[in-house]
Each structure stands twice: as C-alpha cells, then as structure tokens.
Amino acid sequence: MALRLLVLAVGRLRGGPEQALVRDYLDRAGQAGRALALGPCALVEVEDRGGGGAAVEAALLARAIPAGAAVCLLDEGGTLLDSPGLAARLARWRDEGRGAAAFLIGGADGLGPGLRARADLVLSFGPMVWPHRLARVMLAEQLYRAATILAGSPYHRG
C-alpha cells in the first residue's frame, strides 16, 4: 500500500514563488516516490473564514486528516530530525501499512493540545520561527529529499 503524503496547512497561498515551489517539490516527491510506494503528494489548505482562532483551525485540520493516517505536527518545540531520519520515519509508516502521512502546519497561534496529543511525531525545523509560507516550502522540499534518499538518488549529499 502506498503512503500518501499530505501537507495540511492553515491559510491559503495565493500565487507567488512559495506556491510554485511547494507544487514543484510535491510533484517531484510524488514522482521520486512512486516506485517506493510513497505518494501521491498533496497540499490541503484550510481557512477559518469566521475568525474563530486556533480552536477552529485545529478542528478544520483534524477533519482533513484521513482515517488511519500518521500525524506529524510542525512545531518549533518538536523533535529535530535530520533528512535521513525523516526518510526512515516515512518508510516505517509506509511499511506499517499506514495509508497516509499528514503533516500539519498551524496558523499564527499554533495547533493546540488536542492535535498535539493525536500526533505520531512533533517535528521541528529548529528553534527559529519560520513564516508559514516558507515552512510549507521547507517541508515539501524535505518530503522530496526523503523520497530521493529512500530511492538512493544522489540529490541528498549529507
């Protein structure tokens, strides 16, 4: 069974270079992962149009998580993994028969304790705070890099 890779994010990227980069890296990840039972890859954006804050955003994200998916939250206080470590985690979730891996990027006020308790992994890109637009790009690139690591491609030279 293939492991679908989903980036679930609060807010919408409306054009621009970040949106193009996210699409490009997710497309590349899907192509690189096809033979490895990784992918397809998709970006799912949710938006709280009513201004309900973090609780509403968390509920919207929770509804977008497929049943049985591995859940990974991005948070500055999470676990630091290197790229091979993330690749190994994806391979493990795939080998366990998980149908999807959902990577959650919250809004400005974070993701809340309910989603954190549901997470299989809380992942950090370091102690710095990154703009959400860039966090999407960085995550999409790391998913592509993970697929190339598992495929034995020379893209990753770490």
Query: Homologous superfamily of 3-11+19-41+54-151 in CATH?
Result: SPOUT methyltransferase, trefoil knot domain (3.40.1280.10)
The number of CA neighbours under 13 Å toward the Cβ of 119 is 21
Q: Please give the pLDDT value at position 135.
A: 95
Q: Please give the pLDDT value at position 158.
A: 64
Helices (H), 10-82: 16-33, 54-64
CA distances from 30 to 45, 85, 130 (A): 18, 19, 25
How do residues 13-53 score in pLDDT, each as one tens digit? 888 999 999 999 999 999 999 999 999 999 999 998 887 88
Domain boundaries, the chain: 3-11+19-41+54-151
- Among 89, 108, 103, residue whose Cα is nearest residue 139: 103
Mean pLDDT by 10 residues, the chain (158 residues): 96 91 98 96 92 88 97 95 98 97 92 89 93 94 97 84
What is the pTM assigned to this prediction? 0.95
- 44 and 9 in contact (C-beta within 8 Å)? yes
